[in-house]
Chain A
């Protein structure tokens, strides 16, 4: 039947996905360390109705043929890892990465990566995420600690009531060749994939992986105005595609009614 019907249907499906992604971005506008996503589209294959260069009945050559496209498809949902703003919390276990690195945590015995640095202490005084996943390499804060100081290079020092500092270890920062290829596993965590490449361990402040800021959290990088504009565009595109479907339907109805 009409190819246009399917083209318009593919457009509606694509814009629905676009809205899904925008809605998730907007829902996470206050999620610490959240990175927004963007849906990228591409045109589908083309059907050649008339080959360019073929001859007409009068012997002339057609300089350009006719190609009819088959619609659109979402090619990928692209995570946009631009830096979010910093919010000062003064909480000594709130850490923000200024740069492109990730923290590594152990979740259900598997390595996961996160940019959400709102860490807490668990009952064993390990540094954990709000979900209880331990920061890797593990750091345990002694019971008599009054304050914890974390330097820009990730060195963790605990101070006892006498003011004596003890080094507890170093927080490592991990980077990926292609962070956009990471798999979002929910709870602000990412998993390495074949597309993202292997995580490379690094020291904060070296090789551009970023530095650690204590007492800050990185807020979501979702820009509400930008998302609203994208949402309006997606909604209108959805609407005009539905109009095309209606037109296709009317055209077919006319054809069916030629002979009564």
Chain B
């Protein structure tokens, strides 16, 4: 009888997890290149919950800034960080004091010949990733895609690390890059709002069920034991 309560507690923990994921999506509804997470259930794993990242394209908007780039559907920029190689879709780049092309965190963006120097002059980036400074070729941006994008792990700071094998990483040859554009977050506030309400109500009914189980148990313990 009382064992049912554990299933319910499990259920309320899952709803809590869902809510936390939705809250994080909502908090990042204005984060460039952010990809939303979804908590779903895997039937083959005894209905265990898993988190998946939805890599669908976010909205592309014009910014006019020459160091803003937006990438086609599957591409990621390759970044050199002190902790190793990372990947990102956040295309709001800048130049550091040494003239390297860097991300918002100050880590170097890699081209085909390593870090890219764009010091001085007007930067233009072609659709195929070719970088020009004052009409002179500098390097080509390295845009990579993954055979198993589900192996990408979010690291924060808009970075992903790849957990799979390096042979599953391939260079995107027809990666479409748009200079002066930025990809926004793919979080849809309406959808998140509805899911939040749904999660909240499910949570509420689970708690109600816990309450009635508790009431039932109370009745059993207190009433049936009584001699009439």
Contact = CB atoms under 8 A, between A and B. Distances in A.
Q: Is the interface of A mostly helix, strand, loop or mixed?
A: mixed
Interface stretch (B43-51, B74-82, B167-175, B220-228): B43-51
Q: How large is the interface on A (under 10, 10 to 19, 20 to 34, 35 or more residues)?
A: 35 or more
B138 interface: no
Interface of B: 16-17, 19-32, 34, 37, 39, 42, 44-46, 48-52, 63-67, 90, 92, 94-99, 104-105, 119-122, 134, 150-151, 153-158, 163, 189, 192-193, 196-197, 200, 203-204, 207, 210-211, 214
Contact of A80 (B37, B63, B105): B63
A251 B203 CA distance: 7
Pick the 6 closest A-B CB pairs, nearest first. Answer: A11-B27, A4-B23, A69-B24, A45-B156, A197-B97, A4-B20
Interface in A164-190: 175, 177-178, 180-181
A137 interface: no
A251 B207 CA distance: 10
Interface in A15-48: 15, 18, 38, 40-46
Contact of B200 (A57, A236, A247): A247
The SS class assigned to the B binding surface is mixed
Interface stretch (A103-111, A141-149, A152-160, A237-245): A237-245
A150 interface: no
Contact of A255 (B19, B119, B207): B207
A20 to B, nearest CB: 14
A2 B92 CA distance: 31
Nearest to A58: B46
Interface in A95-139: 100
Nearest to A229: B61
Interface of A: 2-5, 7-8, 10-11, 14-15, 18, 38, 40-46, 49-50, 52-53, 56-58, 60, 62-72, 75-76, 78, 80, 82, 100, 175, 177-178, 180-181, 194-197, 200, 207-208, 233-234, 236-237, 240-241, 243-244, 247-248, 250-251, 254-255, 258-259
B92 A71 contact: no
A14 B30 contact: yes
B35 to A, nearest CB: 9
